[in-house]
Amino acid sequence: MGSNRHMVADSRGAHTPDVARAAAPGSEAPSGSRIHNSISRRASLMQEPVLVLNATYEPINVTAVRRAMVLMLKGVAQAEELHSAEVHSAAHAHQVPSVIRLLAYRHIPQQSRALSRKNILLRDRNTCQFCGRVFPSSELTLDHVLPRSRGGRSSWENLVACCYRCNNTKGDRTPEEAGLKLARKPRPFTLHTSRQLMRLIGHRDDRWRKYLFY
């Protein structure tokens, strides 16, 4: 799940209210709250998970709708399954993908993924590993189980997703000293882990099932 720092071809148009229609004679201008709600829904839709298949139909990744549509517009991938929802640019309506397939085979090495905040949160399913609550990514931080002041390393085995409240409670202590308990022992994020997460996320979308070997 690489970085999404690519130019999105329809990012400007897709999120711009239809000004021409709103300003047409005799039409009622939408209220500010309705515009805000519409933009919020579109932004949320663009972050929905999309299953990524290799050219051989093997599931290899989960990405966001925004990134999936960039790959499709670049001709790198094609949609295999579609949502009923659409996103609109200035000139076109694009149906939102649920499953995409890469057009060229990509070799996936059998090893751990890159250690990053994004992958730690994905491994821990956006769940604080101390209180067990699920949070948006913006409301989570990373915690060193063994504090760095005591030689704790930044590694898969010593980093966990943590909410700010638990992070403040723990401070510069071990979980035991702070009266906290880890939900599970942290492990590296392997391809096997990725497939387990794909299956969990896929429970929300029946279109994924035939690709995840249910």
Average pLDDT over residues 138-150: 95
In angstroms, the CA 193 to CA 124 distance is 10
* 184: in domain: no
Instruction: Answer whether residue 12 shows pLDDT above 70.
Output: no
Give yes or no: residues 89 and 1 share one domain: yes
Give yes or no: residues 154 and 202 share one domain: no
Residue 131 near residue 163 (C-beta atoms within 8 A): yes
Percent of the chain's residues with pLDDT above 70 = 76
Domain carrying residue 1: 1-111+190-214
CA-based nearest residue to 142, from 62, 150, 156, 197: 156
Structural domain tally of the chain?
Answer: 2
Give yes or no: residues 15 and 106 share one domain: yes
Give yes or no: residues 102 and 205 share one domain: yes
Give yes or no: residues 5 and 82 share one domain: yes
Give yes or no: residues 10 and 60 share one domain: yes
Q: Amino acid letter at 24?
A: A
Give yes or no: residues 83 and 170 share one domain: no
Give yes or no: residues 50 and 89 share one domain: yes
Instruction: Answer whether residue 8 shows pLDDT above 70.
Output: no
Structure tokens at 200: 């969990």
Instruction: Answer whether residue 108 shows pLDDT above 70.
Output: yes
| Predicted model pTM | 0.51
Residue 82 near residue 96 (C-beta atoms within 8 A): yes
In angstroms, the CA 68 to CA 47 distance is 10
Instruction: Answer whether residue 78 shows pLDDT above 90.
Output: yes
Give yes or no: residues 37 and 10 share one domain: yes
Structure tokens at 53: 């298949």
In angstroms, the CA 62 to CA 52 distance is 6
The alpha carbons of the chain give a radius of gyration, in whole angstroms, of 21
Structure tokens at 139: 């409301």
CA-based nearest residue to 166, from 116, 129, 123, 121: 129
* 183: in domain: no
Helix (H) or strand (E) holding 86: strand 77-88
In angstroms, the CA 197 to CA 185 distance is 17
